[in-house]
Chains A and B, each alone.
Chain A
Amino acid sequence: MRSKVTASLILVIVVAIAAGVINYEGLIAKNTKLIPKLGLDLRGGVRIVLEAQDTESAKATNDAIDAAVVVIDKRVNALGVSEATVVREGVNSKRIMVELPGWTDPEAAKGIIGKTALLEFKTEDGKVVVNGSNLKSVQAALSQVQGSLGEPEISFELDAAGTTAFAAATQANVGKKITIYLDSQVLMSPTVDSAITDGKGVISGGFTTAEVSKDVLLLKSGSLPVKLVTLSEEVVGPSLGSTFVRRSALAAVIAFLLVVIWMFVMYRYLGLVSGIALIIYADILMAAYLVLHATLSLPAIGGAILSIGMAVDANCIIFERIREELGMKKTVKSAIGAGFSRAFRAVFDSNLTVLVGTAFLFYFGSGTVRGFSVTLALGVLASMFTAVFASHTLVDLLLTPAIARNSRKFLG
């Protein structure tokens, strides 16, 4: 018996310390690998959901959507948003979700993300001679030409195929116009003086620096192979979320204290044990969030708070059982032993039922539901661990003969 207690005690201490170190690293030392991941609703930012649509020229095939994700990813990274995510919502989903944490300007984001950015060089009779896929390089530049000196412009270089096509087209269209379109909008419409054979050129025409850098970014990342429409847009100001995080952290502390006070009133000495068990529980749970990079969002916090209730529940079941066993005139020691072993099945079944439920929620649910089921499942596992190992060990350990003699007074 004693050796079993010692083994459990060592296990609990090791786990609690390991969890403590992880929490210290993540929350206080801000170790980048362990920094808590907050959902967009808590840290602020922009989330945009786009849907690929079939058009006459481009079907929304799986490959096209995957390619679009890569293009958007390039664009978003060029914006310099750290930890931006661009994902397809499911394997065969036509939706792409873009999250830009900390970003506050949805219009600028949409101007870059959803733009097809199809660059086309068309002759007067509407024939496309060169398009964006022929671009070898694109750069923002300043005009070197007298008259427009210093004006922002886009300089480009075509690849081999593009150069050949462009040379042939300029050759055939001397004296006529070749118009350059970006997403069917005219960028410029110069008249061809002579054949251009080196595949180099500039696009100019009274652009602002911002316009040029945006267009260069778009052209560099390539055009989207499929038409995307915006389905939803969410913007959360960064201070809203942080206020909420601060408040709910404080709420968690107050809730914890109230729970411990109530447990003390109800179960006296045992109630204090559940207080310590709850601290260990919170310690393990937080560490699990950090290690697994669980995203903490509003519903996830709901799941976490609910799991506090379940952690307390395991203690309530056990303590009530001990009381009952005591009522049957058993000794304190055997009452505690019987209490734990009999209560275990109820704790096990109730928690496992919940785990089964959360597994299905996770598998079939979408974002919100998933966040909730992950935090709840972690909470259930942590609470089972603390109930089985920590609470039991603590009760065994603190059960000195003096307490055993005064059982009624100490156990409420």
Chain B
Amino acid sequence: MTFRERILKWDIIGKTRTWFTMSSIIIVIGIAAMVVNTISFGSPLKFGIDFIGGTLINASFEKAPDEAVVSSILSANGYSNVTVQRAGEKGITMKVEASEIDPAVSGKIISDIVAKYGAVDVGTYEITSIAPVIGRDLLRRSSLALGLSLLFTLLYITIRFKFSFGLATILGMVHDIFVALGILAVFRVPLNAPFVGAFLAIITYSVQDGVVVMDRIREKLRYRAKEPFDKLANAAVTETWMRSFNTSFTTFLAVLVLFIMGGAPIRDFSTTLLVGIISGTYSSIYISTPLLVLWVQGREKAAALQKA
């Protein structure tokens, strides 16, 4: 028996409890991490300066700067809540909290260090200085965009399929959101503006993947004889399993290459994507479809009771 033939024999829907338990454990760990983070750091996720404001400077100088000396230069200028870290051969990363610095004067920090360690390499330096209000706006607008696009996705699937299909897909997506946020919370990955893009990508991917599985169930329903819905749904997911795997695997490959080669600027972004691709594929097969089965079976049972 080939691998493909073996897949068709899998009882995915029959093991619903296993999949739900697995996902619950992952989500519970994520939520626990968020709670721990909230207690020890004050917020469930590690928001970067794009969301909470502050100043981040990455710069290389002619001479290798010393962390302690840079720290003392900064504190002499009145910035005490700073993190200073060596980066590369002659580079240094400085982070100043938003409460202490006005974006209007952030450049002054650099000039003081230039005086000590020689000219800054303008080819590779980076300054990001953001007022907290901008970060809050970004968070608010992105959440609004996200919420509305979820709502209209649900509407679209309801029109093209059925409300129950849409609901199952959206719940699968909510699952992916929690898994991704949980993992970001566990590893305390700093979230910045590009993360919004990565997050949207996860959600899109999840919907796209879910719709293909739902389409197969819809098609099977059309030719349905007397077979029970769980058997039908199981056949639909096993028949589309190989496609789901191949699609995710190829996308996974593409993002993995980006993860390895893209370097630091895109690392957190691609990590989020990798988690999302795995979770998105998994949820459309192992979460959304079983949920749909539970819903439809519940309805069918209720209908049978009414008849009796």
**Is A157 in contact with chain B by the CB < 8 A criterion?**
no
CA distance A351 to B211 in the complex (A): 9
Contacts of B251 in A (CB 8 A): 305-306, 308-310, 312-313
Q: Which residues of A contact B (CB under 8 A)?
A: 41, 49, 51, 104-107, 110, 114, 229-240, 243-244, 247-248, 250-251, 254-255, 258-259, 262-263, 266, 298-303, 305-306, 308-310, 312-313, 316-317, 320, 323-324, 342, 345-346, 349-354, 356-358, 360-361, 363-366, 368-369, 371-373, 376
With contacts A233-B103, A309-B247, A364-B145 taken as known, whether A376 is within 8 angstroms of B204 at the C-beta atoms is yes
Give, as a whole number of angstroms, the nearest-CB distance from A239 to chain B: 4
Distance in angstroms between the alpha carbons of A238 and B212 in the assembled complex: 43
Binding site for A on B (CB under 8 A): 4, 102-104, 106-108, 111, 121-131, 133-134, 137-138, 141-142, 144-146, 148-150, 152-153, 156-157, 160-161, 193-194, 196-198, 200-201, 203-205, 207-209, 211-212, 215-216, 219, 239-240, 242-243, 246-251, 253-255, 257-258, 260-263, 265-266, 269-270, 273, 277
Q: Is the CB of B200 within 8 A of A369?
A: yes
Q: Which residues of A contact B219 (CB under 8 A)?
A: 342, 345
Q: A346 contacts which of B128, B157, B211 (Cβ < 8 Å)?
A: B211
The answer to whether B263 and A352 have CB atoms under 8 Å apart is no
A-B contact pairs, 29 of them (CB 8 A): A106-B106, A106-B107, A107-B107, A110-B104, A229-B104, A232-B130, A232-B131, A233-B127, A235-B127, A237-B121, A237-B124, A251-B261, A255-B253, A259-B253, A299-B196, A302-B269, A306-B251, A309-B248, A317-B243, A320-B246, A346-B215, A349-B160, A350-B207, A350-B209, A351-B208, A361-B200, A364-B141, A364-B149, A372-B196
Q: Is the CB of A244 within 8 A of B263?
A: yes
Asked if A357 contacts B243 (CB within 8 A), the reply is: no
A/B pair count, beta carbons within 8 Å: 254
Inter-chain contact B212/A317, CB cutoff 8 Å: yes
**Partner among B126, B156, B255 whose Cβ is within 8 Å of the Cβ of A240:** B126
Closest to A305 in B: B254
Name B150's closest neighbour in chain A (CB-CB): A357
* Minimum CB–CB distance for B31 against chain A, Å: 26
A259, A262, A263, A299: the one contacting B194 at CB < 8 Å is: A299
Given A234-B128, A298-B266, A360-B148: A308 in contact with B254 (beta carbons within 8 A): yes
When A349-B211, A356-B152, A369-B197 are in contact, do A248 and B269 touch as well, CB less than 8 Å?
no
Q: Are B145 and A266 in contact (CB-based, < 8 A)?
A: no
Taking a contact as CB atoms under 8 Å apart, the answer to whether B239 and A247 are in contact is no
Closest Cβ of chain A to B249, distance in Å, is: 7
Q: Which residue of B lies closest to A351 (CB)?
A: B208
A365 to B267, CA, bound (A): 23
- Shortest Cβ distance from B60 into chain A, in angstroms? 9
B246 touches A303 (CB 8 A): no
